[in-house]
Structure 1
Amino acid sequence: MKKSYVYIFLILANLFWAGNYVFGKYVVAEMAPLQLTFSRWLIAALLLFPLAQMIERPNWKTVWKEWRILVVLSILGIAGYNFLLYEALRFTTSLNAAIVNSMNPALIVLFSSLLLKEKISRINSLGLILSLLGVLIVLTKGQLQQIFHLDYNQGDLIMLAVILVWTLYSIIGRKIKHIPPISATSASVLIALILLLPFVLIADFDYSLSSNALIGVLYIGIFPSVGSFIFWNVSINQVGASNAAIYLNLLTVFTAIISIWTGNSISIIQILGGLLVFMGIYLTNQQRAKKPANLS
């Protein structure tokens, strides 16, 4: 495959993910976060299983032998991450959510050091500090001197839980590297749907949605849930995870562009916080020594 196609895939993956933040903000105005989470993955499951079978042709018995880890991944990455994200979008802006979420790579490095005993260099530590500073600037609207005396936006605080959940999901997910990624995700999605179904059945949801909300749900269920995932994994196989990770910064950039396009404004504080987070991510992902270890 030509590298030019790979880079197009990486750009599209992040563009679709950015759309999840922006359109998710509009859809949660009509749908409860639980309703949107379930609907999204129900649509995705109908596409992921056939794609896994066509592309990866997995041994499903081998996949389901890892059901214990898949249950944990389902709770964290499929149900937990998405429910919390959509809950956060009820209270905060799409751009704020994307900026806080962009600290995820730095947080993964920190938790890898704590749980997997990977060493962090001084330059990596500086990157962690800059990322944290950038997020704090966004959370406090630039009033760092009042960090312990502010009433924080509820959505921004929920986003801190979102990135923590995704960090744990990413680290635990390393234990099933032998399972093809689309197949592992398909199985996790199915488990998450089963776990969420009782809550969906007893909930009193409003199913009289506008046409815009229905279009938004279809978009979220197809493009970020299936398209981004496939593009991302194809790209990683071609150029490696470290090269692909650089493109994750595009998620916040695209979120900002789409936000402006849909009539939202961007503040200087958001720009400054985002730039500090990007600088921190770059420094955090500089070459670091690793000490192999298992998470148990």
Structure 2
Amino acid sequence: MKAYIFLLITVIIFSGNIIVGKAISDLPPFTIAFSRVTLAFLIILPIGLSQAIKYKSTFVSEWKPLLGMALTGVAFFNALIYASLQFTSPTNVAIMESAIPVVTILISLLFLKEKLRPLQWIGVLLSVGGAVWVITNGSWQVLASMAFNIGDVIMIGAVVTWVSYSMLVKYHMMKFPVYGTLVVMLAIAILALLPFAAVEWFRLGWPDLWRADRLLGVAYLGIFPSVIALILYNKAIEEVGPSISAVFLNLLPVFTMAGALLFLGENVTHVQLIGAFIVISGVFLTTVRRKSLKKKPAVIKNL
């Protein structure tokens, strides 16, 4: 249950990431990404510096997976989402983001040899279908009228980036200490994002980050999605694997819808509520079967 609670908290934080990202979308995308990882680095540095120094030899010997995790999950996933929103609609982004669980499961089947029971597959299909139902407000014409552009291509890159991050976490994260690794990955992300942010500053001028709404927005992004959610998501992947963890991401439009209702005053339709129920049912079916499988070895052992 601990892993599932971690995943629920992660999705709630990620839904806040979408809402806050919309609120400060007048800032350039790589400036947002660079600001959030810089703040996250300053926050985690006092906590993880001693671990980073202690495990220096591990970071050096395992530098390839460490670099891969830093560039995919920490540096470029959210930067690519922010960049895609400059060219395409939030609906297109949300629909394509709902493909992450399916892509993750297919990759896990091929490379991690993970297996899903028929009931879990039903849960996956329900959660994906329900997520798209919420995003489109039950109108399949929205899907039919989707026009692809450069923003959608960038979003495909974001999906591949997050799936790659999930695979790397499953294979390699257990080799590293939690907080020291986050310090190192955030430092790498800062160096990777700085040139892109510098180009934005050169072209558009120095961004005004001192407005209250922007300061609060960057503070949220730097503390919650960049530190807390990453730690919780990584822990959950170690426990239940990338396939089950990814299915929880289909709850994103549900929690985003709830957040928009509570904080932005947006209306929620009955069709969206039905879609939310379908998503929750699908996630439940995906997880309940896995729990029953975990209980069996303990019963046999006791006998």
After the TM superposition, which of the residue ranges 104-113 and 50-59 deviates more from structure 2? 50-59
The whole-number CA distance in structure 2 between the counterparts of 1:171 and 1:236 is 9
Which residue is equivalent to 2:58?
62
Structure with the larger helix share: 2
CA distance in structure 2 between the aligned counterparts of 1:75 and 1:111, rounded to whole angstroms: 19
Amino acid at match of 1:220: L
What one-letter code is carried by the residue in structure 2 that aligns with 1:256? M
Aligned residue among 159, 178, 183 for 1:186:
183
Deviation at 1:36, TM superposition (A): 0.3
The alignment's C-alpha RMSD in Å is 4.1
TM-score, normalized by length of structure 1?
A: 0.74
Which residues in structure 2 correspond to 1:99-248 (within 5 Å)?
Answer: 101=97, 104-105=100-101, 107-138=103-134, 141-144=137-140, 147-148=143-144, 150-151=146-147, 161-176=157-172, 177-203=174-200, 204-205=203-204, 206-209=206-209, 210-230=211-231, 241=240
**8 Å contact 1:17–1:228 — kept in the other structure?**
yes
**Structure 2 CA distance for partners of 1:139 and 1:275, relative to 1, 3 Å:** same
What is the CA distance between 1:70 and its match in structure 2? Answer: 1.8
Q: 1:84 corresponds to which residue?
A: 80
Matched residue, 1:280: 282
Task: Give the distance between the partners of 1:231 and 1:120, measured in 2 at CA.
Answer: 23
Per-residue deviation, residues 80-110 of structure 1 (Å, max 9, x unmatched): 21112323555545x9967865664554333
| Deviates most, 117-126 or 153-162 | 153-162
Quote the Cα distance in structure 2 between the aligned partners of 1:73 and 1:234: 14
Per the alignment, in what secondary structure is the counterpart of residue 32 of structure 2?
Answer: helix
Partner of 1:287: helix, strand, or coil? helix
Structure 1: which 5+ runs fail to align? 291-296
SS at match of 1:265: coil
SS in 1 for 2:265: coil
Match of 1:34 among 26, 30, 42: 30
**Aligned 8 A contact 1:96 1:138 in 2:** no
Alpha-carbon distance between aligned partners in 2 of 1:179 and 1:208, rounded to the nearest angstrom: 37
Which amino acid letter does the alignment assign opposite residue 207 of structure 2?
A: Y
- SS of the residue corresponding to residue 290 of structure 2 reads coil
* Letter of the structure 2 residue corresponding to residue 282 of structure 1: F
Please give the alpha-carbon distance, in whole angstroms, between the structure 1 residues aligned to 2:78 and 2:155.
Answer: 11
Name the SS of the counterpart of 1:142 in structure 2. Answer: coil
Distance of 1:136 and 1:158 partners within structure 2? 20
Count of aligned pairs between the two proteins = 282
Amino acid aligned to 1:280: G
Q: For 1:263, what is the secondary structure of its paired residue? A: coil
Long gaps (5+) in structure 2: 295-303
Paired residue for 2:298? none
Tell me the CA shift for residue 35 of structure 1. 0.7
Q: What are the superposed Cα offsets for residues 100-137 of structure 1, whole Å, 9 maximum, x if unpaired?
A: 65664554333211222222322222223223323443
Deviates more, 1:59-68 or 1:264-273: 264-273
What are the superposed Cα offsets for residues 165-212 of structure 1, whole Å, 9 maximum, x if unpaired? 212211122222211233223222211211222222232244124321
Query: TM-score normalized by structure 2?
Result: 0.73
